[in-house]
A and B are shown apart, each in its own frame.
Chain A
Amino acid sequence: MTEFISKLSLYLQYPFVRYALIVGVLIALCSSLLGVTLVLKRYSFIGDGLSHVAFGAMAIAAVLNLTNNMPLVLAVTVVCAVLLLRTGENAKIKGDAAIAMISVGALAIGYLLMNVFSKSSNLSGDVCTTLFGSTSILTLGKTEVVLCCALSALVIIVFMFFYNKIFCVTFDETFARASGVKAGLYNLIIAVVTAVIIVLAMNLVGSLLISALVIFPALSAMRVFKSFRSVTVCSAVLSVFCALSGMLISIMAGTPVGSTVVAVDIAAFAVFSLISLIKRGIAK
């Protein structure tokens, strides 16, 4: 145990480890907040689709040799999120097909661009990093950390401010519209915030595992808790706990960060499912 702590404190002396922990916790918190809404609105895959768009945008940024790719990636992803939401309303190509199309398309174009224009000698390594986020969270610079903190704070404030409206629109959009709630506006806000969260989360788990970060805490919390508020709070706490322990394990054991965090999330889901089963057993 003392060995564990001394090893941990040694690692914590490096600023990049501290940055990674701060950013990881914030991202986990943000993604879990909207996760509940996204799962319930059957938007689970919008996370997947948008993360691939972000991957494509990153590829473009890499080709253009941008040192700070965050603004470009953010802009492209937000635009796509809004477009995806638009098609949801009056669709020639329906929701899931549109998401699948954009998702696969962005992934393919991104890889193609990287392959044709990349100057890096380790192409498959670069792609792997972007897809699985294995090391990028450990290479964050100070500006990225500050930007990340600011965006997370923004996401949390927006979520708190619109909490009741998000609930109303998620539970019953038709009723919300009928009673004069601006459902279109709030759906737009949900889409933009989702895009911001996904761009942030790419640093932690990469674009393939983002859905896990969004969905698992929400699903786990929904197994056990019964009101929207308690589910939201529980999924936020659980997500932070899983991200923190996942990152610590990965630092100690030298495993890839993203996959370790997701593995911890899966374990938590199993535990919560068990709790729900036991609870139901007692109730009977």
Chain B
Amino acid sequence: MSVLSCRDVCLGYDGKTIISDLNFETDQGDYLCIAGENGSGKSTLIKAILGLIPLSSGKITTGDGVKRNEIGYLPQQTSIQRDFPASVWEIVLSGCQGGAGMRPFYSKAEKQTAEENIEKTGISAFKKRCYRELSGGQQQRVLLARALCAARKMVLLDEPVSALDPIATAEMYGLIEKLNKEDKITVIMVSHDIAAAVKYADKILHLGKTVFFGSKDEYVKSGVSFGFLPGGEVK
């Protein structure tokens, strides 16, 4: 059974359709990369998957024991966060808030989860540090740890490496791959970086004038990736 499936999904706002009749599904343990030009509807699709905006038509369902609010989301950074006074621990722990309901304080189990995810993403050394003083790569790992706190088996990453230098980018990809391979966490990643997508992902969803969904081998052969892959030419 697939953990996430989109059936005939149409999306848009203000009466303008951005995505029409989109079909795809991911299985447990998949590594799906969503690619496409600016304005092709990647961010809109993400918001729809998370249930933040309504669908024009069609259906997005989660299965295999994953509820809609159990997708760990790594959003792009906002300007508010850049000067926000908060410790790494406070931020990671806030990932557990969705499961806390009306309970005012965090339970022992939630603190334990936060502790484990801090360990897993390799940020134990700066647990007490202030978020705004960390480097871009470290900040992304903090937000990834927070996403893992909210997640049960599935994370959704919105351009996780867009603001990182090459070394931090490689580390981030390595970390995501480890989570996917060792912890069997389903990864859905939005990225402009098609070269990396082809390197790491199993499946690729390409949005734009031509919509493609399939394994990465089919994707490379299909020619949709021209202009995005090194050596590719724009037709």
Contact residue among A161, A176, A225 (Cβ-Cβ distance under 8 Å from B104): A161
Q: Is the CB of A163 within 8 A of B97?
A: no
Q: In the bound complex, what is the Cα–Cα distance between A177 and B93 (angstroms)?
A: 16
Q: Is the CB of A229 within 8 A of B97?
A: no
Check: B26 CB closer than 8 A to any chain A CB.
no
Check: B81 CB closer than 8 A to any chain A CB.
yes
**Interface with A: B72-80, B187-195, B196-204, B215-223, which one?**
B72-80
Interface residues of B in 86-124 (CB under 8 A from A): 86-87, 89-91, 93-95, 97-100, 104-106
Check: B150 CB closer than 8 A to any chain A CB.
yes
Contact residue among B71, B80, B150 (Cβ-Cβ distance under 8 Å from A42): B80
Q: Is the CB of A180 within 8 A of B84?
A: no
Name the A residues within 8 Å of B104 (CB-CB). Answer: 160-165
Given A164-B105, A164-B106, CB of A171 within 8 Å of CB of B84: yes
- A interface residues, tally (CB under 8 Å): 31
Q: Is the CB of B90 within 8 A of A167?
A: yes
Check: A284 CB closer than 8 A to any chain B CB.
no
Check: A175 CB closer than 8 A to any chain B CB.
yes
Check: B5 CB closer than 8 A to any chain A CB.
no
Chain B interface category by residue count: 35 or more
Nearest Cβ on chain A to B97's Cβ, whole angstroms = 4
Check: A7 CB closer than 8 A to any chain B CB.
no
Check: B133 CB closer than 8 A to any chain A CB.
yes
Q: Is the CB of B80 within 8 A of A226?
A: no
Interface-centre pick from A42, A167, A170 (highest chain B CB count, 10 A): A167
Question: Which single residue of chain B is at the shortest CB-CB distance from A223?
Answer: B85
Given A225-B85, A226-B87, CB of A174 within 8 Å of CB of B94: no
Q: Is the CB of A181 within 8 A of B85?
A: no
Check: B51 CB closer than 8 A to any chain A CB.
yes
**A216-235 interface bits toward B, Cβ cutoff 8 Å, 1 = contact, 0 = none:** 00000110011111010000
Given A222-B85, A226-B133, CB of A181 within 8 Å of CB of B98: yes
Q: In the bound complex, what is the Cα–Cα distance between A162 and B185 (angstroms)?
A: 31
Q: Is the CB of A178 within 8 A of B90?
A: no
Nearest Cβ on chain A to B124's Cβ, whole angstroms = 17
Q: In the bound complex, what is the Cα–Cα distance between A177 and B98 (angstroms)?
A: 8
Question: Which single residue of chain B is at the shortest CB-CB distance from A179?
Answer: B98
Residue ranges of B at the interface with A (Cβ–Cβ < 8 Å): 50-52, 68-69, 71-73, 75, 78, 80-81, 83-87, 89-91, 93-95, 97-100, 104-106, 129-130, 133, 146-147, 150
Ordered by A's residue number, 19 sampled pairs between the chains whose C-beta atoms are within 8 Å are A40-B80, A40-B84, A42-B80, A163-B104, A164-B93, A164-B94, A164-B100, A164-B105, A165-B104, A171-B80, A172-B81, A178-B51, A178-B75, A178-B150, A179-B95, A179-B97, A179-B98, A221-B85, A229-B90
Nearest first, the 9 closest Cβ-Cβ pairs linking A and B are A180-B69, A179-B98, A226-B130, A227-B87, A180-B98, A179-B150, A178-B50, A168-B97, A178-B73
